[in-house]
Structure 1
Amino acid sequence: MTTHYDNIIIGSGQAAPSLAVSLAGRGETVALVEGHELGGSCVNAGCTPTKTLRKTARVAHIARRAADFGVQTGDVTVDFGAAMDRMRDRVATARRELTAWLKRTKGVDIITGWGAFDGRDGDKFVVNVGDTRLTADKVFINTGTSAFTPPVRGLETVPHLDNVGLLALTELPRHLIIVGGSYIGLEMGQIFRRLGSEVTIINSAPRLATREDADVSRIIQTLFDDEGTTIVNDATIAKVEPSRNGVTLILTDGHSFEGSHLLFATGRTANSDRLNLGSVGVETDERGFIPTNPLLETNVAGIWALGDINGRGAFTHTSYHDHEIVLANSNKDAGPLHQWKDADQRTITYAMYTDPPLGRIGMSLADAQKAANDGRNILTADMAMSDVSRAKEEGEVIGLIRLIVDGETEQFLGATVFGFAGDEIIAVLSNYMATGASYRYMQQALPVHPTVAELLPTILGNLKPLAAR
């Protein structure tokens, strides 16, 4: 038996639920196919659980600093089981609410199982979900990514974790060894250090978070050093082997580290291998990601790729933005739509949720320097968080604010906000950049005092040309 829908969505990451409900609201039928848990990585193993656990870690950290604020406490300990229960309850609630929303939406059917293409039936696409055969006029792929674990000698002999396995733990690691010095490794390293684990981060690069500017990496390094995390940069793993208390990791220079748990935070791989894309001619790159045009269309008309799987940004917010682009371009007769930018026009913004957080959009200083070297008129200005009154009042003086502007168009090109409320402040700049307005309008704004963001007009007043090197 075959069931036909106007649309099939494979995978329920952040683009999928809102896309399904919006299409159903237009009177179209939608099959939402999910092989695991509704909500994708964000709800189940990403934003929702990690930010919930981060809060516990931050509360513990602030409690240990209580004397800095004139508050006396005794020894601060963390009930790891209670913290994990709180995290899992938050995940279960988010997933339950999402499921209820979808189930009460007329026109949306949730199909449980792993979906895979099976060619065409005339001009319709065929998708099999186990023994269930579906057809549709349009298919949207939103299957995301999974953790990548590199080949390491001896790895088959030792238990090891990815981000999903880490969040399934029921006992606090005595010593967590993390392979990877980028965003996930840093976020989880700081969380588990604050929860009470000894933490060692093995980083193959010369410095942490190499996508960021070198001075930002140095601040991150100092932050982790001060909190008692061991960082080993420019490290190459020779092998791992079991030990009496867990696992031993041995570097090529002979240094070794013994830990109770081993986590790999070494990047992501595309979830495209189960989709049988060849049966309908959808192309992938050498890493399994699905290239798209600016409207998120694949090389096959009628099939779109949304979210992490298209390689345009491994973030929940880019996935959600993808669905808005698709909706805005799929019904030209619907009148004015709020989303007019395509995926090539948007400027990618993101945050790293260390504490303090790092917010970033557009050009880094290194990018700006390259542009200046090519003859472009670039203006930049920095301010240390230690010069921001609100940050000092909060006792949160780590970090900096960096603004980058085009000297000719006066438009923002990029910003870094590393420090107190950096994740929120970068959203202010992202929203402003979307307007394409001159930075001078921001200079004329009336800010609220005392805030960190009130310093943005002041910093803009200190813009200076970036000299070529």
Structure 2
Amino acid sequence: MEITSHTLLAFAILALIGAFFVIESLTGILSPAILVSLFLLGISLLAVRKAVEWVKNRKVYAKWRKPSAFDRNLVVIGAGSAGLVTAYIAAAIKAKVTLVEKHKMGGDCLNTGCVPSKALIRSAKLLSHMSRSKEFGIREAHADFDFAEVMERVQRVIKRVEPHDSVDRYTELGVDVIQGEAKITSPWTVEIKTAEGMQTLTTRNIVIATGARPFVPPIPGLAEIGYLTSDNIWDLRERPRRLLVLGGGPIGSEMAQTFSRLGSQVTQVERRPRLLIREDPEVSEMVNERFRSEGIKVLLEHKAKQFLMENGEKVLVVEDLQNGGVEVRIPFDAVLVAVGRAANLKGFGLEELEIPAGRTIETNKFLQTIYPNIYAAGDVAGPFQFTHTAAHQAWYVAINALFDPFKKFQADYSVIPWATFVDPEVARVGLNELEAKERNIPYEVTVYGIDDLDRAIADGEAHGMIKVLTVPKKDKILGVTIVGEHAGDLLAEYVVAMRHGIGLNKILDTIHIYPTLAEANKYVAGNWKRANAPAGLLRWSERFHSWRRGIKTKETRVSKTLPPVGEKYSR
């Protein structure tokens, strides 16, 4: 019979049942014999579990020859967020670590993702404020700009941030950085091809942090007509007059609004019924409403069918799924494909070592592959594709790789925040209503409308909301969604609260500076407090104060009507 964790659990339960049958009194539970038996049982279970792991490891490593000594404690493949942080931690605790990058240090985030996109979004937002000048009492504001100069500013921002992720910096930190192409040739060897030639390193552990790339769907005619992705859109120096954006997720939505504000005529095509499908419906509608007001043509439930050239211009043929699949033709000058990202799984040895991978590399709760000394982190491992979760995973793979079998930790995804940098900004941590319903988790909703917030009104940004899900009748936070100006910054208070078990009562009890956007966090806590006010205690309080005024009455009832959700908590 194969020994599994379920088998061990069954043995443990049987042993405990047998032990309790011989207990004649409650004091017998604490008898030395029972305590020693439980201790020995625990030791036995641990020993058997370790034995099972040893047998499995011996089997997976059977055909490989392990070196008697190693050049490195750790080799990290990929210098994006996950790889950089892994290497940094390893060097900080004095392990000998090599970081291999075949392209650019900093990975997607620095070169083609977070940094350039936020730089471009900032320029576009400045233009949007100028277009709203009358709202701020300014009769007219006009910006004379050149698209190429805006894109050059993006490159300057990248160059400004670049030293943070540079070879020089990580070399100074104690990391051996090699710019070349790595390939895992055994569980303990990595072959590296550089401009100078080939070298092979032996290592106790390997971390795969090869990231992801834009997914390009196999739509007929797309390759022939040419397309942009989040990898190469930064090479543009001439603004597309008509930009077609394929995809209604975070990247597609951010770029659709940004290029619209920069003067392109933007059409956004999404086959699903909503933008930002992972968010609650009212959140998607807030974003969609803003897009429409800014002149973006959003086509929901439209499926891309074919790209072609007609009368000398580029055309996308889509099926309108809302109207029985009727075909619609969309002429455009450039198309941005933003329908998701695919993990980089080819070319560095997964196939040769038969490491299982589907959409991402398969790992266990410790981020180990089928080879316990080979780990994966970041976009290539999933389940989230955020820079900050890649860095979060990096801590686990670094510590687990360098200290296993003495100590290792399970990756913790219980409090993962993220933001989509459209306007209004959307940020979330924990559950939203969609997920709570899918998982049958009971919840209570409290909402505060930011249109009521003094600072938001003064800033001309009186829109959006804070939506908090809590355990029914308790202040424990299950999740928070914020829509509005600086939503990602406002969310940080809830990330800390959820991470450290702080409830809405403590947020309500915390002083927030007036007037700031952060006051909204206190006001939503106030709304929760009123909705959960102790009605019975309030009735007694009213009777007490009536008595103190000298009014004699048999019973004074307090109204059970509570202020509407969204009303400001009294300052």
TM-score for the superposition, normalised by structure 1: 0.90
- Counterpart check, 1:270 vs 2:343: yes
1:313 to 384, 388, 391: 384
Structure 1 equivalent of residue 428 of structure 2: 360
Matches within 5 A, 1:9-28: 9-28=76-95
After superposition, the C-alpha distances for 1:273-309 in whole angstroms (9 at most, x for unaligned) are 1122133342212x2x112223222221111111111
Structure 2 equivalent of residue 67 of structure 1: 134
Mapped to 1, the partners of 2:84 and 2:442 lie a distance apart of: 43
- Counterpart check, 1:36 vs 2:100: no
Structure 1 equivalent of residue 222 of structure 2: 155
2:518 to 449, 453, 456: 453
Structure 2 equivalent of residue 103 of structure 1: 171
Q: Give 3-state SS (helix, strand or coil) of 2:184's partner.
A: strand
Q: Give 3-state SS (helix, strand or coil) of 1:294's partner.
A: coil
Distance 1:243 1:104, change over 3 A: farther
More strand, by proportion: 1
Kept in 2, the 8 Å contact 1:78–1:195? The answer is no
Mapped to 2, the partners of 1:411 and 1:13 lie a distance apart of: 35
Kept in 1, the 8 Å contact 2:317–2:330? The answer is yes
Kept in 2, the 8 Å contact 1:404–1:414? The answer is yes
Distance apart, 1:98 and its partner CA: 2.0
After superposition, the C-alpha distances for 1:322-368 in whole angstroms (9 at most, x for unaligned) are 122334545669xxx9xx98424432210000122111111112223
Mapped to 2, the partners of 1:179 and 1:377 lie a distance apart of: 36
Q: Give 3-state SS (helix, strand or coil) of 2:327's partner.
A: coil
Paired residue type of 1:314:
Q
Kept in 1, the 8 Å contact 2:184–2:349? The answer is yes
Mapped to 1, the partners of 2:215 and 2:437 lie a distance apart of: 32
Distance apart, 1:243 and its partner CA: 4.6
Structure 2 equivalent of residue 407 of structure 1: 472
Q: Give 3-state SS (helix, strand or coil) of 1:178's partner.
A: strand
Paired residue type of 1:257:
I
C-alpha RMSD over aligned residues = 2.3
- Counterpart check, 1:421 vs 2:486: yes
Mapped to 2, the partners of 1:266 and 1:84 lie a distance apart of: 23
Structure 2 equivalent of residue 125 of structure 1: 189
Mapped to 1, the partners of 2:485 and 2:245 lie a distance apart of: 26
Matches within 5 A, 1:325-404: 325-329=396-400, 342-370=410-438, 374=440, 376-404=441-469
Paired residue type of 1:150:
P
Distance apart, 1:461 and its partner CA: 3.0
Mapped to 2, the partners of 1:458 and 1:97 lie a distance apart of: 38
Kept in 2, the 8 Å contact 1:78–1:196? The answer is no
Mapped to 2, the partners of 1:184 and 1:59 lie a distance apart of: 20
Structure 1 equivalent of residue 61 of structure 2: none
Q: Give 3-state SS (helix, strand or coil) of 1:283's partner.
A: coil
Kept in 2, the 8 Å contact 1:153–1:239? The answer is yes
Moved more, 392-401 or 44-53: 392-401
Structure 2 equivalent of residue 293 of structure 1: 364
Q: Give 3-state SS (helix, strand or coil) of 1:367's partner.
A: helix
- How many correspondences in the alignment? 451
More helix, by proportion: 2
Structure 2 equivalent of residue 204 of structure 1: 271
Paired residue type of 1:94:
V
- Counterpart check, 1:4 vs 2:68: no
Distance 1:30 1:45, change over 3 A: same
Moved more, 252-261 or 124-133: 124-133
After superposition, the C-alpha distances for 1:406-455 in whole angstroms (9 at most, x for unaligned) are 13663211000010110101121111110022322112111111122213
- Counterpart check, 1:194 vs 2:278: no
Structure 2 equivalent of residue 322 of structure 1: 393
Paired residue type of 1:348:
I
Distance 1:314 1:320, change over 3 A: same
Distance 1:49 1:246, change over 3 A: farther
TM-score for the superposition, normalised by structure 2: 0.75
Mapped to 1, the partners of 2:479 and 2:223 lie a distance apart of: 43
Kept in 2, the 8 Å contact 1:64–1:76? The answer is no
1:231 to 294, 298, 303: 298
Mapped to 1, the partners of 2:438 and 2:219 lie a distance apart of: 36
Q: Give 3-state SS (helix, strand or coil) of 2:365's partner.
A: coil
Kept in 2, the 8 Å contact 1:11–1:32? The answer is yes
Q: Give 3-state SS (helix, strand or coil) of 1:407's partner.
A: coil
Q: Give ranges in structure 1 of 5+ residues lacking alignment.
A: none
Q: Percent identity at matched positions?
A: 29
Q: Which has the larger radius of gyration?
A: 2
